[in-house]
Amino acid sequence: MRIFRHYTDLPVDARGCVVAIGNFDGIHKGHQVVINEAGSIARTTAKPWAVMSFEPHPNALFKPDGEPFRLSTMRTKAHRIEQLGVDELLIQHFDFAFAGLTAEQFVEEVIVKGLGASHVVAGYDFQFGQKRQGTCETLLHMGRGKGFGFTAVPKVMDEDDIVYSSTRVRECLKAGDPRGAAHVLGYPVELEGRIEKGDQRGRQLGFPTANLHLGEFLRPALGVYAIRAGIDEGKNTRWIDGVCNVGKRPTFDKGEDVILEAHLFDFEADLYGKHLRIQLIEHLRAEQKFDGLDAIKAQIAIDCEKAREILAKEG
């Protein structure tokens, strides 16, 4: 999959594409249907299969002081999109100048002149352009005059007729329900980042940890989780079972931002500076404050045993 950073930079062989457009935060099952619909049309018409997303997320631009909310970094998003088989990913820089394009300018400058798109696919509720004035009806109407087709993908719902959505994933995570979130996504919730050196208190307790600051990631319910940790090794990822705490470490009165501390089972190699992917499998308990190190060590041992049992059943 080729990745481009601006709609004006596309080579000739990427133009004429069938493109799915959206934020696609999380790449949940509904997003996957939209992207795969573009793929189906691209294969039928022998055109490049493309996805256009935006970075940073528009919410981060318009609400810079808001709470962290992202479900996926651009790195994670690109990984998931590539797995679907997409040919081209356009990660469009989203700033106030781009946000200021009217709906008509977006169609003319981006879709027609920039992408030379032969067909556009979007979710039923897609809005675009200045003040979100553009809708699916806008794309359908303008497409007829500008020479590109348009498909609006209707709501995608589960067996209980509940719509797959990023909002639903966020609600599950805040409720401490990573399995519910995984049901919407189609895969385990994944947090990722580069390992930073901490105060090494976990090593002193006999349970060394790899520390991740969550940055723009949505803060899941605080507490302890059974996890799978993925260590990037070139093109491959090595997965290791483990347990993590997501929280502020109240026993030590740190008062810091939420941090993820992961303990990997039967693993002793140095991870500092490496990129780590953390899949949240099951929430074991809420974060709590302990009376001393012995109490913490005893509880961590219980957490590890429970996590091993859960992960052994995952296969």
Please report the domains of the chain, with CATH numbers, ordered by start residue. 2-153 (3.40.50.620), 189-314 (2.40.30.30)
pLDDT at position 314 is: 84
Residues of the chain with pLDDT under 50: none
pLDDT at position 30 is: 97
| Contacts of range 264-272, beta carbons closer than 8 Å, 24 or more positions apart | 264/210, 264/229, 264/240, 265/240, 265/241, 265/304, 265/308, 266/240, 267/240, 267/242, 268/208, 271/195, 271/210, 271/231, 272/195, 272/196, 272/197
Kindly report the backbone phi and psi dihedral angles of residue 145, in degrees, each rounded to the nearest multiple of 5, phi listed first.
-85, -25
pLDDT at position 184 is: 97
pLDDT at position 297 is: 86
C-beta atoms surrounding 63 within 10 Å: 11
pLDDT at position 228 is: 96
pTM above 0.85? yes
Q: Find out whether 289 and 255 touch, Cβ atoms under 8 Å.
A: no
Helices (H), 4-135: 29-45, 58-62, 74-83, 96-99, 103-105
pLDDT at position 198 is: 61
The single residue listed with the structure tokens 């399995």 is: 179
| Contacts of range 110-113, beta carbons closer than 8 Å, 24 or more positions apart | 110/7, 111/19, 111/146, 111/148, 112/146, 112/147, 112/148
- Quote the mean pLDDT of the chain: 91
pLDDT at position 83 is: 94
